Amino acid sequence: MPDTSQCRVCSGTVEQFFDFGRQPLADAFVTPGRAEEEFFYRMAVGACRTCTMVQLMEEVPRQHMFHEDYPYVSSGSTVMRAHFEKTAERLLDTELTGPDPFVVEFGCNDGIMLKTLADRGVRHLGVEPSGGVADMAAAKGIRVRKTFFEESVARDIVAADGHADVIYAANTFSHIAYVDDIFRGVRELLAPTGVFVFEDPYFLEIVERTSFDQIYDEHFYFFAVRSVQEMAARHGLELVDVERLQVHGGEVRYTLAHPGARTPSPAVGELLAEEEARRLTHPDTLRGFGESVDRTRERLLALLRQIRDEGGRVVGYGATAKSSTVINYCGIGPDLVSFICDTTPAKQGKLTPGSHIPVREPGAFADPYPDYALLFAWNHADEIMAKEREFRQAGGRWIRYVPEVRVD
Ligand code: SAM
Ligand code: TMP
Ligand code: ZN
């Protein structure tokens, strides 16, 4: 297997630093009896020697991941709904104060962010290729185009609606390998004084917390301020602001503008200096990350085997896309985790990709409570633990593996 590839941002050499082996698609839940249709690929991750962008070594074709049955529905979390309402309010107060502002969001999913803007009568358009969730957005009164965002789509939007004051994408830009085409589209669509705002998991957090489960097919890039700044400059835009966010285990919201249109905020330099001080993409750091991943795997497996051997029962909480990496890399099967409960109707009654652990509705969790709950949706810990207070009161214990394996 080659351990280098060509950088999708700058054509430099990407050097592999961790190989998870053969993995299924993280959101490809299996209908019982139809496991032979599963798609596998080699999941490995590397860093570009030139521009430092961390990326997957192999790209999965986009239509395998984002289609009519894409199961992830954004509005399942109360905390995320509040986060995106706040985001929309902030845009209304800052960027959308002109007479007839226009916002384009790509990857709008079920309309979790655009809903607030649509309700306020702001001109908007969602671009969302996954048909099922796009229909949910449309049902909320959101204008949505069922397609992948790319340059040709951007050009069509300009012809029909004019230039955008804000182009927004949450947990989506890092999913798209073909950044050159995206940047051409953004440059054409963005008004001269407009901003392109996107938020995605922060590679610094992934390294610091060993949250290796952020690595799966849909997450093609693992952004950091240095790599995003270089990518923006290479593609004719300027990074003018960064803001750390707590959601999804630690993200950064990046703001890009046409070169010279805005004065860059001091926050950009501050976070760049922090990445530099922590030697974020230095080979030693990346090697250390790999060692931490394997330590987590050993400890989690040892714990689950011990519980099983002592006759305890473990149920998984949250059939997240992230859980696919943990489950398949660690080799966790239904013998160690009997089922996983999840609120998403499209996941219930299915089996997890690769490992074939049944997914059940949340009501199954308390029927009866297991001895342990393995919290796969660790990024929603506060919300879930508040909701499931009675589990602990009944003597149940939570298992977490980020930042390290812990029972409490
Ligand atoms: N923005 C939502 C959020 O933060 O909860 C949804 C995030 S979801 C993980 C990623 C979304 O991006 C999916 O709904 C997917 O269909 C969409 N997507 C993937 N590639 C895309 C592309 N090229 N253009 C527009 N949307 C895309
Ligand atoms: P995410 O980490 O990618 O947002 O996925 C969260 C998954 O966890 C999603 O499948 C929904 C599920 N979930 C629950 O089952 N219960 C909950 O209370 C929350 C917040 C999420
Ligand atoms: Zn590069």
- Please report which helix (H) or strand (E) contains residue 321, including its range: helix 321-330
Closest-approaching ligand to the CA atom of 171: 1
> Which of 211, 248, 380 should be mutated for ligand 2, with most atoms under 8 A from CB?
380
For residue 317, give the ligand 2 atom closest to its CA.
Answer: 15
How far is ligand 3, taken at its centre, from the CA of residue 10, in Å? 4
Residue nearest to atom 6 of ligand 2 (CA): 320
How far is ligand 1, taken at its centre, from the CA of residue 209, in Å? 25
Distances in Å between the Cα of 352 and the Cα atoms of 11, 216, 322, 326 are: 35, 14, 11, 12
**What ipTM does this complex have?**
0.98
Q: For the full predicted model, state whether its pTM sits above 0.90.
A: yes
For residue 342, give the ligand 2 atom closest to its CA.
Answer: 15
How far is ligand 3, taken at its centre, from the CA of residue 2, in Å? 17
How far is ligand 3, taken at its centre, from the CA of residue 54, in Å? 8
Residue nearest to atom 18 of ligand 2 (CA): 384
Q: By C-alpha distance, which of 289, 298, 294, 180 is closest to 231?
A: 180
Closest-approaching ligand to the CA atom of 170: 1
Say if CB 384 and CB 390 are below 8 A apart: no
Ligand 1 neighbourhood includes 240 CB (under 6 angstroms): no
Structural domains in the chain, CATH included, are 74-281 (3.40.50.150), 284-407 (3.40.50.720)
Angle between helices 283-309 and 321-330 (to 10 degrees): 80
At position 380, the amino acid (one-letter code) is: H
Distances in Å between the Cα of 373 and the Cα atoms of 75, 201, 214, 344, 348 are: 23, 25, 20, 18, 18
For residue 130, give the ligand 1 atom closest to its CA.
Answer: 16
Residue 330 DSSP SS3: helix
> Which of 109, 220, 247, 380 should be mutated for ligand 1, with most atoms under 8 A from CB?
109
Per-residue pLDDT of the chain (408 residues; tens, 9 = 90+): 669 999 999 999 999 999 999 999 999 999 999 888 899 999 999 999 999 999 999 999 999 999 999 999 999 999 999 999 999 999 999 999 999 999 999 999 999 999 999 999 999 999 999 999 999 999 999 999 999 999 999 999 999 999 999 999 999 999 999 999 999 999 999 999 999 999 999 999 999 999 999 999 999 999 999 999 999 999 999 999 999 999 999 999 999 999 999 999 999 999 999 999 999 999 999 999 999 999 999 999 999 999 999 999 999 999 999 999 999 999 999 999 999 999 999 999 999 999 999 999 999 999 999 999 999 999 999 999 999 999 999 999 999 999 999 999
Residue nearest to atom 23 of ligand 1 (CA): 148
- Beta-carbon neighbour count of residue 82 at 10 Å? 11
Say if CB 192 and CB 261 are below 8 A apart: yes
For residue 248, give the ligand 2 atom closest to its CA.
Answer: 2
What CA–CA distance (Å, rounded) separates 349 from 354?
15
- Exposed e or buried b for every residue in 150-161, given b needs 16+ CB within 10 A? bbebbeebbeee
